[in-house]
Amino acid sequence: MMTESEILERTVVIGNELGLHARVATAMVQTMKNHSCHVTLVKNGMEVDARSVLGLLLLAATPGSELIVRAHGPGSQEAVEQISRLLENNGSDHVR
């Protein structure tokens, strides 16, 4: 069981043929409204808040890019799973 101070990380590969674009970024920000934990995405050393559409777009994550989803706080596990599904499944949180 994870404590609130532990940091959870998962590496994901962008599955959308358009990369991490505005629709996916918006869906991610909407998903984060349901969570109180802190989630960031990291690409090539650049770390941005998962609640910031602009920050997410600044990652310039193209198809096949690897991102690290990093979270800490209550509900981190669920948040990381939902964000990972959005990134890996073409912007949909429904597994295809």
Q: Are 55 and 48 in contact (CB under 8 A)?
A: yes
Q: Are 89 and 17 spatial neighbours (Cβ–Cβ below 8 Å)? A: no
Catalytic residue chosen out of the listed positions 21, 35, 72, 94: 21
CA dist 70 to 13, 17, 18, 27, 40, Å? 14, 23, 23, 17, 5
Residue 38 falls in the annotated catalytic set = no
Tell me if 67 sits within 8 A of 41, measured CB to CB: yes
**Annotated active-site positions, please?**
21
